Structure 1
Amino acid sequence: MGECRTCGAQVNRTYVADQLLDRLAKSEKKGTPKQLSRECAKAGIRLPAATIRTWIHQKRLTPDQHGHVTLSSIVPLLHRRAR
C-alpha cells in the first residue's frame, strides 16, 4: 500500500501501476527515446532514454524513419522488465 500524493488516501500500488501501464498501452503518442522517457516519468514510471535506445539497438523496438517509437510498443517490454 502507498499514499496518494494528492489526497493522502491509501492506494494499492500494484493497481495504480497497472492502470498507468494500461493507459500507456492505449496511447498512440510517438517520440524519441528522450521524449518517451519523459512521458513515462509523468506516469510515474522510471525508464531512462538509454534503456529505450538499447531496446532499439537490440531490435526489440523498431523506430519509424524519423527514429520515433510509440509508447504502446514499450509497454510489453516494461512488463518483461518488471519480472
Structure 2
Amino acid sequence: MRSGLLLFLFAQVILVSSLTQTDKCGGNIEIHTADYLTSPGYPGAYPPSQQCVWVITAPEPGQKILINFNPHFDLEDRDCK
C-alpha cells in the first residue's frame, strides 16, 4: 500500500456513529480509518427534493479517499466534485 492512506468507503452498508440522526441532511465527515458509511435512516430514502451536501475529508493532505456506491446509482449531476 502506498504511503498515502487509501480509504475505502462503501455507501449504505454500516452506519457510522456520527451519522445517527435520521433527519440529518448533509454535514462534514473526517475519516481516520477505512470504514463503511450509510445514509442517515438507511435503508429508508431521503424525502423528495432534498439537496444534501456531505463533505468527506482525510485527516492529512495527500491522502486519498475512494468511494464506491453499493448498489450503484447514477448521480443527477455528472460533474460531481
Q: Which TM class, normalised by the smaller chain length?
A: under 0.3
* TM-score, length basis structure 2: 0.24
Flag the structure with more relative contact order, 1 or 2, with Cα contacts below 8 A and sequence separation at least 6: 2
Kindly indicate which of the two structures has a greater share of residues assigned to strand.
Answer: 2
Kindly indicate which of the two structures has a greater share of residues assigned to helix.
Answer: 1
